[in-house]
Structure 1
Amino acid sequence: MSQVYVVAVTTLKDLQREINKLLGDKIILKAYGTNEEIVSGDLEKAEIVITEPRYLLSSKLFDKCPNLKWFHSPWAGVECILKYDWTKNRPIITRTVGSYPQQMSEWAIGNMIASNRNFFAMKKYQLDHKWGKQDFRNFCSLYGKSIAILGCGSIGKELARKAKVFDMTVWAITKSSHEKCNFIDHHRHTNDLDEVLSNCDFICNVMPQTEETRGLLSGKRLSVCKKQPLFLNMGRGSIISDESLCEALDEKWIQGAVLDVFNEEPLPPSNKLYDYPNVFVTHHTAGVTFANEVADDFAHKFEQYTSKKAMDDVVQVERGY
């Protein structure tokens, strides 16, 4: 088999080395940073392009790739991919999911424990050189608590699995109420969102940004919450407007929020969410992409591609994910 021409334009510094370790004899890989000028001849020869979705939008890269058959994104998010005009050319589109399910489910479980066990408040006592044993005896276990997982792809399912380890009751909003997962006690559709929100101690959003999910929790939606849940967002900030989230905090419909994603990133210094003592900001780090994981994933998909097998993690543009 002749070598396949691949162009990678990415901020992942070690990606070229990691891919060449695995596929060096099967591909010709030309790698560039996102600030480097790309040799036009490389783009004309490229059968496969690996690049980050935001760069894809800003550079109009694919207009210069007449032989493109497969585009691979090293990131899990797809909203920038969906904004691209695919009417001229529709290659196979895939993405790396990698260890995001493990990383992000750990983020959620860790923050739920930290909140229930008052770890955030304990840190303030420590900085004030204050001993507060009696103040922190009133805490809750995750045992018997209920979690609403909004979005049940690979990340949501892994969070459900971990939640069951702590004997939690798991509610999940899925694309289809017929979609089943052994770790979910109650499957529901978005039409049943109020029922789910009213029954849970934690709400964790893992939904991607689509027209259907934008503003899903905005307005007074969270006013139906009966248990004053903790809201965790590691999906996309667009699930709820900043104004609606602030109202939910002010009205105490929710006890607090742990936020990894926002409507505007970086979160501007003037944003009110910084000022709430019961809001914890984690700077879009719930899941991080590593070069070796992208390389392993790309090599696996490359074997599927060259063998003409069905490929994993294909982005369905029409479906929005």
Structure 2
Amino acid sequence: MNIVAISGMDLSQLRDNLPDEVRSRIKFIWCKNTKAANEFLTDAEILLTAGRLDPEIMERTPKLRWVQSLAAGIDKLPLEAFIKRNIIVTNGKGVHTVQMSEFTIGVMLQRVRNTNKFLKHQHEKIWDPKLSFDELYGKTVGILGAGAIGEAVARKCQAFDMRVIGFNRSGAAQPHFNEILTGDNGLITLLQKSDFIVLLLPSTPKTHHLIKREQFQQMKSSAFLINIARGDVIDEEALIEALKNGTISGAALDVFEQEPLPETSPFWTMDNVILTPHIAGATDHYIERAAPIFYHNLKQYIAGQPLMNVVNLREGY
């Protein structure tokens, strides 16, 4: 049984520590890009990806039955082709909870403690102890996407004595949230109440430009938006307008509709924007967190048993 892994990440740890009970049953081939993988694709029954595959790869994988994504998002995969061929897709749901929740708290603290300004002053050798500061204490954070990452963010926010509101489709209560909202009215309530708004939604047709001009107008003028979901969840033109006009106070953006972010984007030079290059989920421990999911699924697949984190391809998550 051939597994072809296509990823620029170092997968040697994943390859070299395969469970003993499956090691003799499989051939694990790791390639850093699709070009290097071409000669192995014809016999590939399993593909392992970091979350992105060239759609043309489907023409060269006649034996493919299962795709394991090490990432949680699957919007960069050829989903329609998978549906047509009835290919199972599983994702890395659960691997981002630590790093993305820490990232969220980090940018919140960066915001309230004015650390960007202090770094600028350090470079300019300016001593100014009169800068103003705020606190996380008593603030309300609204989390759109009350899943595993949202729950981890909520737990850490409560440690700072913040009030946590969540938003999901079911409206079902979740641990560490003071309140869970759902539906159009629930979204409006969350936006109106929140000092910080954290986006953790997948990229689907239903979430495309979910946050646009109307939603920005429902937010507090002091609200700070954090997007660690996908860039297309936000209407970026409407966000730029809201940031320039003071409709909201600022944003921390890790994801964008076009990546890498073009040099012409206004985001680069906006003082009220914290900008990072899609790294909120990155960590030196990524593979060791993803490995248990892949190993579990590999053993289940060989045994003909149900896999974990199976993606609903029509829903997109």
Q: If the length of structure 1 is used for normalisation, what is the TM-score?
A: 0.90
- The answer to whether structure 1 residue 151 and structure 2 residue 135 are counterparts is no
Map of 1:26 onto structure 2: 25
Which of 135, 146, 154 lines up with 1:141 in the alignment? Answer: 135
The equivalent residue for 1:184 is 177
SS in 1 for 2:208: coil
What one-letter code is carried by the residue in structure 2 that aligns with 1:306?
Answer: I
Using the TM superposition, name which of 143-152 and 290-299 deviates more: 290-299
User: What does 1:9-20 align with in structure 2 at a 5 Å threshold?
Assistant: 9-13=6-10, 15-20=11-16
Query: 2:94·2:148 contact (CA, 8 Å) conserved in 1?
Result: no
1:54 aligns with 2:48: no
Q: Are residue 258 (structure 1) and residue 256 (structure 2) matched?
A: no
Shift of 1:187: 0.9
Pairing of 1:1-321 with structure 2 (within 5 A) = 4-13=1-10, 15-23=11-19, 24-38=23-37, 40=39, 42-57=40-55, 60-81=56-77, 83-97=79-93, 99-135=95-131, 138-177=132-171, 179-191=172-184, 192-226=186-220, 228-288=222-282, 290-321=286-317
Secondary structure at the counterpart of residue 22 of structure 1: coil
User: Shift of the alpha carbon at 1:104?
Assistant: 0.5
Describe the SS at the equivalent of 2:85. Answer: coil
Instruction: Provide the identity percentage.
Output: 32
Shift of the alpha carbon at 1:220? Answer: 3.0
TM-score by length of 2: 0.91
* RMSD of equivalent CA atoms: 2.0
State how far apart, in whole Å, the 1-side matches of 2:52 and 2:259 are. 13
Would the aligned equivalents of 2:226 and 2:253 in 1 still touch at CA under 8 Å? yes
Aligned residues: 311
**Cα-to-partner distance string for 1:30-61 (whole Å, 9 max, x where unaligned):** 22221534455x4333221112443332xx22
Amino acid at match of 2:166: A
Structure 1's 83 and 44: CA in aligned 2 closer, same or farther, altered over 3 A? Answer: closer
Q: Would the aligned equivalents of 1:199 and 1:227 in 2 still touch at CA under 8 Å?
A: no
CA contact (8 A) 2:173 2:179 kept: no
Q: Using a 3 Å threshold, how does the CA distance of structure 1 residues 274 and 131 change in structure 2: closer, same or farther?
A: same
Asked if 1 retains the 8 angstrom alpha-carbon contact of 2:112 and 2:134, the reply is yes
Q: Which moved more, 1:183-192 or 1:264-273?
A: 183-192
Structure 1: stretches of 5+ with no match in the other structure: none
Gaps in structure 2 of 5+ consecutive residues: none
Tell me, yes or no, if the aligned pair for 1:48 and 1:70 is still in contact at 8 Å: yes
